[in-house]
Amino acid sequence: MERIEHRAVSGGWQDVYRHTSTALGCEMNFAIYLPPQAATQRLPVLYWLSGLTCTEQNFITKAGAQRYAAEHGVILVAPDTSPRGDAVADAEGYDLGKGAGFYVNATRQPWAAHYRMYDYIVQELPALIEAKFPVTDARAISGHSMGGHGALVIALRNPQRYRSVSAFSPIVAPTQVPWGDKAFSAYLGPDRDAWKAYDATELVQTSAPPLPLLIDQGDADEFLDAQLRPQLFAQAAEQAGYPITLRMQPGYDHSYYFMASFIGEHIAHHARALKA
């Protein structure tokens, strides 16, 4: 593991590391923010999953999250969104291949050789963080768009591993929208029943115990009606008796301006659960 960036911010340190991933079979970057409290004590961790086309850089440079993490004493970990490297399969367009891992374990070639982002986020990366940094075993998870999809799916499938979950503008029903149809057809094949394991709207119907769950969605989001459709998740959660907070925020779009406006509230949401 090699530290490749080291910057002071909000009294702590914003670092980026590169390491060899066994799950993905390639070199991977992840960002970690260590607030000032980390110099003297172990702290809980909030994992952030970014969206289509992003790397670890988008969140750490645009969201303004470090000041809130320092306020609450929470470590932030932001991995890349997909495997990288010359040997890693790619595709034309922004919504498949590099930058578009969708946080699934691919079962179809050529993707299966490297695209195992689910295992990387759930198992490998936390094991590395917990071995190398001053963290407790209290974890939370959040994300944006494709990363919001990943955060919801991972939390709903592994409620024992996380204290809370949140998302900005998540893809809540990928089996019912074009982004998911394209990615899942490639990564998982034609069996649509297999896709349900990575669909939050399907998973919320059977997941237990419930976690504190917050979703913020802008009503001016250009992807709202065709790709995101949060009402599908809200309806499924209500039918299952799974309590959620879904906030429609007037005037906000899909950009990091939206996240920067509400990231403090999301970190507070997680801090309450992490320290309960």
Active site residue ranges: 145, 221, 254
Report the SS3 class of residue 190: coil
Nearest to 100 by CA among 113, 117, 77: 117
Extended strands (E) in 128-208: 135-143, 165-168
236 by DSSP, 3-state: which?
helix
Peptide bond just before 159 cis, omega within 30 deg: no
Beta pairing, strands 75-79 & 43-49: parallel
Other CB atoms within a 10 A radius of the CB of residue 81 amount to: 26
Q: Which of 6, 62, 14, 60 is nearest to 38 (CA)?
A: 14
For residues 14 and 20, the answer to whether their CB atoms sit within 8 Å is no
DSSP conformation class of 87: T
**What whole-number distance in Å separates Cα of residue 56 and Cα of residue 253?**
21
